[in-house]
Amino acid sequence: MMGVEVKERLRSLDVNRLITVVIPTLNEEEGIAKVIEELHSLGITNILVVDGYSRDRTVEVARGLGARVIYQHGKGKTGALKTAFENVDTPYMLVMDGDYTYDASSIERFIQHMGSYDEIIGARVPVEEESMSGLHKLGNAIITKVFNLLMNTNLSDVCSGMYMLKTETMREIDLSTSGFDVEAEIAAQIASIGNITEVPINYRSRIGKRKLSTWKHGFRIMSSIFNLAKVHNPGAFYSLMVSMLLIPASIILFSSFMEMVYTGRFSSNWFLVGIALLLVAIQGMSIGVLSLVVKRSQMRLIRMMRKQIGKVYA
């Protein structure tokens, strides 16, 4: 009954003219059919499968169910998404994996808010205990906390593989990662130039062989987030780094003050070290703020230039 209600609401919105559902695939023969069939059951037929040269029957299955299939250029999921950006002609695209982990009925939640945001992330809510391990939950929480700290966001699941994007905005950014950290890069770039939010979605157990390694890819994503912060939010990144000097500076200055109070002696050398660390921290934070202003001005200028170029060639 719920599926029928969702289907009717999506049909009333003429969803196939608004969004293209993009499914990056690599050897997803076991799950791709159920993903496409679930989308069809909701009346969603504008489906673009971007395949990374699967060695199984993923492409044949997808085409047999009526999905448009193209092969990607470039490496990894980033290459698949770049290929999608070049081929989507609807105002919005919704990216989801081909392993049946994401509930297609959640698409309605994205559509309700798409007019106000450049990206809407689906915050995963496991519907089964085995959908996401405790270690996976912990790693995702840590990664998201670090991302929020460095990018001045308030998200709860930056690594989610289901998200809606404004097509025009995505054509204005340049992706440089190549693996599972691409979701973090998209969120980082959009957070610096546009509006981003999230909606809760159901998350199921994967069908087929798991590709993500919790430890290996977790560390890679974390490293990528620090690199992304340096580029897309330098103010917060450098301010955070140099603010760490405030800890030893405070300890040294407090110790010097207490020594003077209790002994009457004044350790001028240590006091000067504390003052030096304090000045470096303040200077670093000032540089970080200036870098942020310059970066955002640069991004606004690039967006304006791209729009003007687009008008010339339109």
Report which listed range, 60-69, 225-234, 275-284, 296-305, is most confident. 60-69
Task: Answer with the residue of higher pLDDT: 213 or 70.
Answer: 70
Q: Tell me the pLDDT of the chain averaged across its residues.
A: 84
Mean pLDDT within 170-193 = 86
Report the pLDDT value the prediction gives residue 37, as an integer from 0 to 100: 97
Q: Are residues 14 and 54 in the same domain?
A: yes
DSSP state of 102: B
Query: Are 250 and 218 members of one domain?
Result: no
**Per-residue pLDDT at 123:** 96
Give CA–CA dist 89/253, Å, rounded: 61
Residues 104 and 207 in one domain: yes
188 shares a domain with 309? no
Q: What is the pLDDT of residue 263?
A: 79
Boundary of a domain, candidates 231, 258, 284? 231
Q: Are residues 187 and 260 in the same domain?
A: no
Query: 174 falls in which pLDDT band (50, 70, 90)?
Result: confident
Task: Average the pLDDT over 258-268 and give the result.
Answer: 75
What CATH number does residue 212 fall under?
3.90.550.10
Percent of residues, the chain, with pLDDT higher than 70: 82
pLDDT tens profile 287-306:
666 766 666 666 666 666 65
Same domain, residue pair 151 and 115: yes
Which carries the bigger pLDDT value, residue 264 or residue 165?
165
Residue finishing a domain among 231, 257, 290:
231
Query: How many domains, in total, are found in the chain?
Result: 2
Domain boundary residue among 231, 259, 282?
A: 231
Kindly report whether the global pTM for this prediction surpasses the value 0.85. no
Answer yes or no: do 147 and 245 share one domain: no
Residues 74 and 188 in one domain: yes
Q: Are 101 and 34 in contact (CB under 8 A)?
A: no
Question: 266-288 burial by CB neighbour count: b if 16+ within 10 A, else e?
Answer: eeeeebebbeebbeebeebbeeb
Identify whether residues 199 and 65 lie together within a single domain: yes
Q: Which residues pair with 94 in a beta bridge?
A: 21, 164
Whether 249 and 107 share a structural domain? no
- Burial of residue 115 (number of CB atoms within 10 Å: 0-12, 13-18, 19+): exposed
pLDDT in tens, 31-41: 999 999 999 99
Q: Residues 103-139: pLDDT tens digits?
A: 999 999 999 998 889 999 999 999 877 778 888 888 8
Tell me which of 47-51, 186-190, 198-202 is least confident: 186-190
Specify the DSSP element, H or E, that contains 18. helix 15-18
Same domain, 213 and 307: no
Whether residues 241 and 99 fall in one domain: no
Domain range enclosing 247:
236-313
The residue with greater pLDDT, 214 or 282, is 282
Please give the average per-residue pLDDT across 36-64, as a whole number. Answer: 96
